[in-house]
Structure 1
Amino acid sequence: MTLRTRLTAWYAGVFLIAGIALIALNYWLLADWDPLAGGMTLQRATSVPTEPMATVYPGYAAVEAAQLPAGTLVVTADQVKADTMSTVLWQSIIALLVAAVIAVWLGWVVAGRVLAPLHSITSTAHRLEAERLDQRIELDGPPDELKELADTFDGMLDRLASSFDSQKRFVANASHELRTPLAVQRTLIEVAMADPNVHDETRRLGRHLLDTNERSEKLIDGLLMLAKSDRGLTSRELVWLDEVIDDEVESCAALAAEKNVTFAVQTRRYLVDGDPVLLAQLVGNLLRNAVLYNKPGGSVSVRLDQELVVTNTGPTVPAQAVPGLFEPFRRLRDRTGTAGSGLGLSIVQSVAKAHQGWALARPNGGGGLVVQVNLPETGVRQAS
């Protein structure tokens, strides 16, 4: 039941209680009424009265019924009182029912006008995104509670917009400041190792430093990608997800050949409204994880129908450990020797949420992991 319906019910309920109380009060007061206090009317029971109406006032002598003209209707005070009270009661009930219908309609209209600012706040909140914090309510009206709520909401949006702008600047600066020294270090190591007079121990040290440098670069790239996806989408465009899958499978072919892993791909045309870079990162992370954490001679199944499902045949994954795989830097113990940074599934989940989707995982029955990613499919189709 909506708030508007509840308010209307409250208005109608209060009105009915007040109306019933008023009818009861009138009926109680009418019970003490004495018809003889104001006189009593006698009228003939013929169709065309031949005698004028007569009124008997208190203090007059009583008249016997035999002395009245023939056809005269005698009405007692109790009968007048009973008929009057019955008429007043039924007419009051009918009037109350009619007024109750009008009160329900007026309550519905008034509740709608009272709740209109709340609808404005709700619609503004629905239009907000991480990169679109320029929406404001700017409610006009008297300085009441709803005006205070709308102004508080606008102030909160101002602070959020400032915070997001600061975060974007930080990510942009960190991307430059962190990548530059690593690139310089890699260049210096490669130049030093290019010297033919370098000792074998120094060359082994150089290769170790290059591996460490590469892992640091991947870690920084993963953190920046995670921060970017957590902020939401800066732009949207129509992306064929099946084509992204084909491209990423091709890019993982060399790694799969090195690990002796085969792909089985089954897709259909699937159009998504989103960020192509983030979607490619999502698919790429799923495929690389499925290859890296597989067993020699294993396989990776990629199926795209109502959702994207990637299944590998790696080592057995305990069910209780699956939720933690979506947390940053969380890996199974037997995965610590791999080249991964522990951010793969975290990025997958973050990118899926940025596209109003979700990501789930469960252990594969014969070993390995099954990852399901749901991305909203747009209804737009290109002409064939």
Structure 2
Amino acid sequence: MSVRLKLTLSYTGFLMLAGAVLLAAVWLYLLDEVPDVTAFPGGVLTRLGLARHFAQAAGAVLVFLLLFGLLGGWLLAGRILAPLTSITAATRMAARGSLSHRIELPGPRDEFRELADSFDAMLAQLERHVAEQQRFAANASHELRTPLAITQTLLDVARADPNRDTGELDERLRTVNSRAIALTEALLLLSRADQRSFTREHVDLSLLAEEAAETLLPLAEKNDVTIQTSGEITPTIGSPALLLQMTTNLVHNAIVHNLPEHGAVQVDTAVHPDCVVLTVENTGDILAPQAISTLTEPFQRGTERISTDHVGVGLGLALVKSITRAHNGTLVIVPRPGGGLHVTVRLPLGRWCN
């Protein structure tokens, strides 16, 4: 049975039950109050006769309640369930791949309105995710094709000139191959973070910040960038490897996208009442606010800001965003007034038990 029919029968059954209870109450009243023989202007009426008249009237009332309940319940159920028609139509359109349709259910904010609004929000989120995945797939295909095309070109050149020195060719092939391996590993790490397939442990974010800064100190010295770290014990819960990768990516990005000379990077950790905070701030060129939103997109390297020969694989901040989201955190990137970026990562506070 359809929901409409079930509601109709439920309304009718409830109406019939209420009518039967009311008639039973009237009948009990008559039994107590009406004498055995009642005189009327046209004669007398015994209690048995009264019972027969009452039974006939009660039967007629119940038949009327049945018909009224079926008709009224069917119309009322149809009116109540009308919003489900719009929701069902939107669901079918989404199942066919159309995610741009929205229900936009009018009327008061009742349960159906909340359901429709939640469905619209889900469709909007799905549409954004699908668009991101499509862009990611296209960019990943392009990025993976580039080293393969370069390798093919180098091999074709070597075949056309057998007497060519293979030392230079070997070095260039190794470089291209290393880039392809790094890109593949970054894609696997990104997939792992998105799927949240990792073991959660107690982590001190301040130690990870110090480790990342120490590891990248040679790169900072090479690029004439100074790194300063500060902060207290910053307990959180998550994957130590992924959180270290997140911190390293932030510090690395702050180093390579900096001033040509005398650049600076500041890494701080702090504990707030409900979260822990990691901030990475660096000097650099002044950035337009509209460019900030694209920095966490995969393969967005911000080429206009690169001041070194290390261009990476274009997944640095995309990995940061994915790892932060996998740890139920938030990532905020804002441009500094004097140039560079101010990046803030907030993660849930992980209290340690002694």
- Structure-1-length-normalised TM-score: 0.48
Query: Does the 8 Å contact 2:230/2:269 carry over to 1?
Result: yes
The amino acid that maps onto 1:331 is: R
1:316 Cα deviation after fit: 2.1
In structure 2, the CA distance between the partners of 1:234 and 1:366, relative to structure 1 (3 Å rule), is same
1:268 Cα deviation after fit: 1.1
The amino acid that maps onto 1:250 is: E
1:358 Cα deviation after fit: 2.4
Question: In the alignment, which residue of structure 1 is the partner of 2:101?
Answer: none
Question: In the alignment, which residue of structure 2 is the partner of 1:291?
Answer: 255
Question: In the alignment, which residue of structure 1 is the partner of 2:336?
Answer: 364
The amino acid that maps onto 1:291 is: I
Q: What is the DSSP-based 3-state SS (H/G/I as helix, E as strand, rest coil) of the residue aligned with 1:325?
A: coil
1:293 Cα deviation after fit: 0.7
Query: Does the 8 Å contact 1:233/1:274 carry over to 2?
Result: no
| Structure 1: stretches of 5+ with no match in the other structure | 1-13, 40-55, 60-177, 186-198
Residue 284 of structure 2 corresponds to residue 314 of structure 1 = yes
Question: In the alignment, which residue of structure 2 is the partner of 1:304?
Answer: 269
Partner Cα separation in structure 1 for residue 183 and residue 165 of structure 2:
27
Q: Supply the RMSD in Å over aligned alpha carbons.
A: 4.2
Partner Cα separation in structure 2 for residue 323 and residue 331 of structure 1:
12
Deviations 1:346-382 (A, max 9, x none): 1111111222222221222211122211111211155
In structure 2, the CA distance between the partners of 1:216 and 1:270, relative to structure 1 (3 Å rule), is same
In structure 2, the CA distance between the partners of 1:58 and 1:248, relative to structure 1 (3 Å rule), is closer
Partner Cα separation in structure 1 for residue 187 and residue 300 of structure 2:
14
1:308 Cα deviation after fit: 0.8
Question: In the alignment, which residue of structure 2 is the partner of 1:235?
Answer: 199
1:317 Cα deviation after fit: 2.2
Matches of residues 248-267 of structure 1 in structure 2 within 5 Å? Answer: 248-267=212-231
1:204 Cα deviation after fit: 4.6
1:210 Cα deviation after fit: 3.5
- Structure-2-length-normalised TM-score: 0.51
The amino acid that maps onto 1:229 is: A
The amino acid that maps onto 2:217 is: A
Q: What is the DSSP-based 3-state SS (H/G/I as helix, E as strand, rest coil) of the residue aligned with 1:308?
A: strand
The amino acid that maps onto 2:311 is: A
Partner Cα separation in structure 1 for residue 288 and residue 206 of structure 2:
31
1:282 Cα deviation after fit: 0.7
Deviations 1:288-317 (A, max 9, x none): 011011112111111111411111112222
1:248 Cα deviation after fit: 0.9
1:216 Cα deviation after fit: 2.0
Partner Cα separation in structure 1 for residue 197 and residue 164 of structure 2:
49
Matches of residues 191-210 of structure 1 in structure 2 within 5 Å? Answer: 203-210=167-174
Q: What is the DSSP-based 3-state SS (H/G/I as helix, E as strand, rest coil) of the residue aligned with 2:286?
A: coil
1:333 Cα deviation after fit: 3.6
Query: Does the 8 Å contact 2:206/2:232 carry over to 1?
Result: yes
Partner Cα separation in structure 1 for residue 339 and residue 188 of structure 2:
32
The amino acid that maps onto 1:265 is: T
Residue 326 of structure 2 corresponds to residue 354 of structure 1 = yes
Q: What is the DSSP-based 3-state SS (H/G/I as helix, E as strand, rest coil) of the residue aligned with 1:378?
A: coil
Query: Does the 8 Å contact 1:38/1:57 carry over to 2?
Result: no
Partner Cα separation in structure 1 for residue 295 and residue 319 of structure 2:
11
Residue 193 of structure 2 corresponds to residue 225 of structure 1 = no
1:260 Cα deviation after fit: 0.6
Larger radius of gyration: 1
Query: Does the 8 Å contact 1:271/1:381 carry over to 2?
Result: no
Deviations 1:247-302 (A, max 9, x none): 11100100000011111212110112221111111111111011011112111111
Question: In the alignment, which residue of structure 2 is the partner of 1:159?
Answer: none
Query: Does the 8 Å contact 1:317/1:367 carry over to 2?
Result: yes
Query: Does the 8 Å contact 1:215/1:339 carry over to 2?
Result: no
| Structure 2: stretches of 5+ with no match in the other structure | 1-10, 42-143, 152-162
Residue 329 of structure 2 corresponds to residue 329 of structure 1 = no
The amino acid that maps onto 2:285 is: P
The amino acid that maps onto 2:199 is: S
1:339 Cα deviation after fit: 2.1
